[in-house]
Structure 1
Amino acid sequence: MKSIIDDAKLLIFDLDGTLYEDTDHFDYYCRLLQKRVSDEKQKPFWDTYESMKKGTHPVAIGKVYDIKNDASVTVDPMTLQVTKVTSFDGVEWSEDKVKAEFSGELVYDFERLIAIGDGWWLPYATAMHFGVKQADTWECYNATKEYMVTDQFQLSKTPGLKQALQRLKEKKKVVLLTNSEREDVKRLLNELELHDLFDALYTESEKPLKTKEKLQTILNEYGIKPHEAVSIGDNFINEIAPALLMGLKAVYIQPNSIEVEHENLHVVPTLANAL
């Protein structure tokens, strides 16, 4: 494992779920959203979210949530072809219906087709199903981010991460590529005591829609060839598949088993196992 990182000239880290692996804030976010529905919907709302977390619901991490059709879309992350669609209550679409609705490569956006790449999107998908307004989801998200920098919330520091980054930075470029806003990123890095360990912070990156574009910008910035760079993250759709398709190497942080195999892909249960 260490060889692909040691041999690289450029390391591109994700933030949420990568530099810290806590998940309690997802539940906090969901609790805020839950309050935006009527009393009779509160229990079904939470039960739905819990089933998503367990992977027993059609909408789960690794899927795409189709807001318009209130459906779970299975996509091959390497080809971006839709392979299966299931309604929110578990009814699989016919092959003809899938082809009629989704032809060619799937294009993610942040309005209809939401890539469920990590735990942030499960509360959001639940909220969309139960009729919460998008403006309310954004308000609850911002409230969660504010909560995460209070004394009530404590981030767990990955053992040895700070020392490893200090060592790596001596010989290679180390950057951060995240969808989070810059001020949130700075606060979280301060909390993790990692604030001075990155050569550059690329924030509000609109992954996965613009992942390839952002990765190419970074490669150009440092004059690095794709095979000399490693993308490191917990979100296969956002950070891993686009990097592999561009010729980068990748470290995927995933505690559960996965079926995807690639010569340039290494899977670890936690970032501590990769450094």
Structure 2
Amino acid sequence: MTGPRDLNAQIESLVNRLRRRQVVGSWRVSVETAVLLRQVVSATRWNQVETLIKVVKEDVGRRLVMAQPRGNIVRRVLRLIRDVYNSEVATFDDLSAEDDDKDSNTDDDEKEEEIKSKSSQKIRTISFYGGSGTGTNNRSSMINLLGDGGTKRTSIDDDRKPPNILLIRQIIEIIMTVGRSRTVEMFLKTAAKKRKFSVLVAETFPTYLGHEMALSLSEAGIDTTVISDSAIFAVMSRVNKVIMGTHAVVHKWWPRLLSTIQNQ
């Protein structure tokens, strides 16, 4: 198991690399953040779920978000922790209810003693979460869930290609996108194998990532035109579809987009 010093060194290393932009791209940032938080859950000593949430959210998550403001993975890990905790509490309540039904014919004195015993057992199970007793599997359950979370991106990418190509009709369509998104770029290149369309790419001042996107698409044989940001409204009447990449998807599936897109 990773020791506290090794864990702190790993946290500091990732924070420094995020600040220096040595780790770039949503995919790489997400994977390295998930791996680090998995180490935190595995190596941190905690007896209460509130303690673990505090460590993940404030001690580690806040430092990572301050280094590079992308907190979706941190929120996802917190959600997994709460889900495992709520599942454990619900399971214990169901077992307690079954025991109460079986022992409904016992004397009042015996029933009172049993209720006190069950109450203390429940407090011990919830308070010493992740410790001995019924909580021994909770830590491993969280670690397994965090391990599975890192493989979902590949399956999502594989599942996205064939069906979503149908969104582009057989007629020659004009599609607009803004800046450069690897996900949008991959989708358009895959769709171009079975569909014929033209792409308008807004240049996205001041980064001008739209030029890189247009160059990559044109090299793939896609009819691509770069337009200035101020020309978006002028050409919008000719556009059939707008496809935009997102930095993150937050509460209630609201996307976090480029500031230039939100201002438009």
TM-score, normalised with respect to structure 1: 0.29
Which structure's CA Rg is the greater one? 2
Q: Which has the higher contact order (CA 8 A, sep 6+)?
A: 1
TM-score, normalised with respect to structure 2: 0.30
Answer 1 or 2: which has greater helix percent.
Answer: 2
